Amino acid sequence: MKTLNERYDYGLDLFLLSIDEGIAGYRDDSLETVKRNKDQYSLPLLIVSYEQLYGWSMDSIVETVGRKNNCTFCGVFRRQALDRGALMLDLDHIVTGHNADDVAETILMNIFRGDLPRLGRCTDIATAGDGYTVRSKPFKYAYEKEIVMYAYFKRLDYFSTECTYSPNAYRGYAREFLKDLEAVRPSAILDIIHSGEAMRVAHDVQMPVAAQCERCGYISSNAVCKACTLLEGLERGVPKLGIARSAKADLQALPVVAKNRGASVQRVHFDKLWENAKRMREERIANADSWCNKPSCVCVDQNNTESSHACMQ
């Protein structure tokens, strides 16, 4: 993105946003790579940690829930952490490194689970995210091995070690199944992606309606979002809350007992994050130069005269 931005003069303000899940021996090493990237590409870096946002690291979560369902916590917390970090920086767009292998695995997982809402969204190259920040995956059609080969050939500084807890993840089984398919049919990964894109939900199927979590303000189809539900389970000593349906029935009978520092973290409501981001954007526009004088900018009309509004690039 930095190379394209400079080569074609896109005029983008680029930032590095990284999530620290708190996985010893994995994320701490990859963060060192990100910090070197910061210096190599001269880009500002923001690191947001689970410990900072939720009061729990993934290592502490695994100690509580075990290795069977820990990736559910990580996936939910990571998605929300990305949106929180984007709002902290007032970003218009989040660009992730998801590749074709990732997308095909996600399609298979959603099919196996019968998750129609996510199946309809996971093949989109760009999604609205939280409604404020757009999220896209430009490597959607690029194979993982192609990306690694390019990085190796170009001698880029990258990190490719697998997560410590991934061998026990549900995604791991989908990955193994996908590799078996690819051995028989080399085009299986792209075939699955194209099949996912062609799938349509019938009009008479009732889909969940997006709303806001009544606790943290994050987008959710339920009164309480998944992250808040999982956190409450951790803090009440019911780690399967939000995973096992039977745990919800027992929740009301349990006392509200904070078992560790997780309950002491007060998360910032998303409405406040949105307000701060909008204020930052207004200040940035107000302090920006009125005219950029680029021939391609909307500030200059066909007669090369200034428009009546400030430059938004």
pLDDT value, residue 254: 47
Cα separation, 82 vs 136, in Å, equals: 12
Mean pLDDT, residues 35-57: 95
| The pLDDT value given to residue 284 | 81
What's the pLDDT score for residue 243?
Answer: 74
Mean pLDDT of 49-73: 91
Q: What angle do CA 220, 225, 228 make, to 5 degrees?
A: 160
Q: Is the pLDDT of residue 172 over 60?
A: yes
Q: What is the pLDDT of residue 306?
A: 37
Q: How many CB atoms lie within 10 A of CB 92?
A: 12
Contact 285, 312 (CB under 8 A): yes
Strands 93-95 and 134-136: parallel
Q: Give the pLDDT score at 245.
A: 54
Q: C-alpha angle 126/129/132, rounded to 5°?
A: 110
Distant-in-sequence, close-in-space partners of 213: CB < 8 Å, separation ≥ 6: 219, 220, 222, 223, 224, 225, 227, 228, 270
Residue 43: band (very low, low, confident or very high) from pLDDT cuts 50, 70, 90 = very high
Share of the chain above pLDDT 90, in %: 52
pLDDT of 189-230, one tens digit each?
999 999 999 988 888 888 888 888 999 999 888 899 999 999
Q: Which residue has the higher pLDDT, 20 or 291?
A: 20
Q: What does pTM read for this prediction?
A: 0.82
**Residue 281 has what pLDDT?**
84
Residues near 243 by beta carbon (within 8 Å), at least 6 away in sequence: 69, 72, 230, 233
Residue predicted with more confidence, 130 or 178: 178
pLDDT for 131 equals 62
In tens, the pLDDT along 74-98 reads: 999 999 999 999 999 999 899 999 9
Instruction: Report which listed range, 147-151, 168-172, 299-303, is most confident.
Output: 147-151
Calculate the average pLDDT of the chain: 83
How far is it, in rounded angstroms, from Cα 273 to Cα 44?
Answer: 20
**Residue 37: predicted pLDDT:** 95
Measured distance CA(159)–CA(148) in Å, rounded: 10
pLDDT digits (tens, 9 = 90+) for 263-311: 457 788 888 998 998 898 888 888 875 445 444 444 434 344 333 333 4
Would you state the pLDDT for residue 206?
83
- The pLDDT of residue 258 is 42
